[in-house]
Amino acid sequence: MFAFLLTLLILDALVLSVVVLLQAGQGGGLASLGGAGGTDTVLGGRQAVTILTKATWWCGGIFLVLSLILSLVPRGGNSSELQERLRASTPVAPAPSGSLPLGGSTTPTAPPSETKSPATPSPAPPASSGGTTAPETKKP
């Protein structure tokens, strides 16, 4: 069904293109705005309805309807042979192992602040007396 409607849409598009190209131009364009032209010339005037004009409207309407129908119709058909071969040849991803490079692990752990306490307390920052002083160094 999808292929049939798509074929109709393509044929309609080709016919619509040919019909539009066969029509005579409106003529005048911007040149009709100058001079003593009446309102008919400025506003485009009413032209005789020809068979090409009717064919353009019909082809445009059919194109619109077919496009809307095609957007609603499921694409149909199963996957192609090439898609099946690609699925068959694609390797399955291995299961994640327990360890990571550089000694990490995939199991979740608690944050370091909860599991370990520092062995030595960190020294309190020195109180500043208005100026900057050099940091003290400890000798072993």
On whether the CB atoms of residues 16 and 59 are closer than 8 A, the answer is: yes
pTM of the model: 0.45
Burial pattern 35-49, b for ≥16 Cβ within 10 A else e, equals: eeeeeeeeeeeeeee
CA angle 123, 124, 127 (to 5 degrees): 135
pLDDT, averaged per 10 consecutive residues of the chain (140 residues), comes to 92 95 68 52 64 93 96 76 78 68 64 57 61 65
d(CA 133, CA 122): 19
**Predicted pLDDT of residue 29:** 46
**Predicted pLDDT of residue 66:** 96
**Predicted pLDDT of residue 92:** 72
d(CA 119, CA 129): 30
